[in-house]
Chains A and B, each alone.
Chain A
């Protein structure tokens, strides 16, 4: 299982849960699993073309997936994924 941390704005879709454990072997697979379990979450994370929205950042074990292969970045058992609003800081 992979632990995914859900930001406050999306917790309404996860029944208030701040963390969910799901299966998947890449970031895009995780997003598809999330969508199956929590319908509506994918359109909040991805735009019409399926790319991650401008104001959403995704991290695997604290590392921004844009330093890896974006949506195609592989994930493995025990990884922790954080979805975080991009607008913060400065």
Chain B
């Protein structure tokens, strides 16, 4: 018996075959992978996982692929850091960072979802992969498609950071820069996906793709000695990552790999694009879309597909969804770099700034475990932070000049 039964609609539960489809034909609800957990239960164990590869594929039993993985063999298993300096500042004894800013091959958590999506795309017989992206996803699809010999089309908003545009071009995919916001790109790609026989990782392959994010929860639970943390802080763009981290902990619980899960799931958005935080605060269960205006471009989704589910999970688990200003985002990036030596991009700045906000509000008790997800690398969004980090001391190549400067700087 196979571990994958098929797909099913998250809303009306109608079953579908495990093909490249993502939406219920009847209610338009999202399709999810239906697993045969009895089969998985028989195959999975802590010992087997611990003897597995040092990548996200150690959790292959809970990922929606049927054969051996073919893409992203070095992806995942990123550092899990006990952040003692930052924890001290925030009054937390057990603050941890899941550091996907050094994920392979393209320095963001998107390498996880792409590893799964492209492995599945190959199983389904596609020779061309594509995506709508705020940047990191396009980088990962481009790099992985190059290695795995797929034809590749990536669609991005034209105003992306230079590092993220170059981070596509170098792998030589077809890069399409669309005059518009990410939401325009996404809408356009939904239409393109209906016309071309391509695997759009976050459209028609989305049910498989999104499952890759669960590995962030699996790695966290394993690193904590096979238990879920008390709190997590997760950035929200579409909301998919937050829902899958929740799902990951609960799958481990269901399979008796960890004790009962009581994790409070908190979400982080930028004020300039906070449709989910706004709906959460107003206790609405529908999202009013917004036109994004924030430096956190990787989170700038004004019309978030999984926003509704992210709100439900935060409410159910006693979590909060907060937003922070661009100034706080930059402070967040600096706070993390200066205390923990980790240089994250703007999305990580959002996460750290919200973590700080929640800590200051007294949401976390000192002795509780808190995990913040650092999802991208600061070298990709240098223009956001450049004006805020000062400049080097310029000196002449002699000792006197150095000593004068040292004195002047009061060091």
Contact = CB atoms under 8 A, between A and B. Distances in A.
Interface of A: 5, 7-10, 12, 18, 44, 53-57, 59, 62, 64, 66-67, 82, 84-90
A59 B180 CA distance: 14
A25 B183 CA distance: 26
25 contacts: A5-B191, A7-B194, A18-B195, A44-B28, A53-B27, A54-B28, A54-B308, A57-B303, A62-B180, A64-B303, A84-B187, A85-B22, A86-B28, A86-B305, A87-B28, A87-B29, A87-B206, A88-B22, A88-B189, A88-B206, A89-B182, A89-B301, A90-B237, A90-B304, A90-B305
Given A55-B23, A55-B29, A57-B303, A88 B289 contact: no
A26 to B, nearest CB: 20
B142 interface: no
B216 interface: no
Given A82-B191, A90-B240, A90-B305, A9 B182 contact: no
B30 A90 contact: no
B190 A66 contact: no
A88 B190 contact: yes
B28 A56 contact: yes
- 6 A-B pairs closest in CB distance: A90-B238, A55-B28, A89-B186, A85-B23, A87-B30, A9-B25
B288 A90 contact: no
Contacts of A86: 28, 303, 305
Interface string B20-51: 00111111111000000000000000000000
A55 to B, nearest CB: 4
Nearest to B23: A85
Contacts of A85: 22-23, 28, 190
Contacts of B22: 85, 87-88
Nearest to B240: A90
Given A8-B194, A56-B28, A87 B304 contact: no
A10 B30 CA distance: 15
Nearest to B188: A62
A89 B186 CA distance: 6
A57 to B, nearest CB: 7
A54 B269 CA distance: 22
Contacts of B301: 89-90
B132 interface: yes
> Taking each of A18, A86, A88, which has the highest tally of chain B beta carbons within 10 Å of its own beta carbon?
A88
Contact of A55 (B27, B132, B237, B238): B27
Given A12-B25, A86-B28, A89-B186, 8 more contacts: A54-B28, A57-B187, A86-B305, A88-B189, A88-B193, A90-B202, A90-B210, A90-B240
Q: Which of B25, B202, B210, B239 has the most CB of A within 10 A?
A: B25
A66 B189 CA distance: 20
B1 to A, nearest CB: 29
Nearest to B25: A9
B253 interface: no
B203 to A, nearest CB: 5
B286 A89 contact: no
Contact of B187 (A9, A12, A18, A82): A82
A55 B11 contact: yes
Contacts of B182: 89
A84 B239 contact: no
B184 interface: yes
A67 B181 CA distance: 15
A55 B29 CA distance: 6
Contact of B190 (A7, A44, A55, A62): A7
A82 B194 CA distance: 12
A82 B306 CA distance: 21
Contacts of B286: 54
B191 A87 contact: no
Nearest to B180: A62
Interface string B160-182: 00000000000000000000101
A54 to B, nearest CB: 7
B365 to A, nearest CB: 32
Given A18-B194, A54-B286, A82-B191, A88 B132 contact: yes
B241 to A, nearest CB: 8
B184 A62 contact: yes
Nearest to B241: A90
Contacts of B289: 64, 66-67
Contact of B238 (A44, A67, A82, A89): A89
Nearest to A55: B28
Contacts of B184: 62
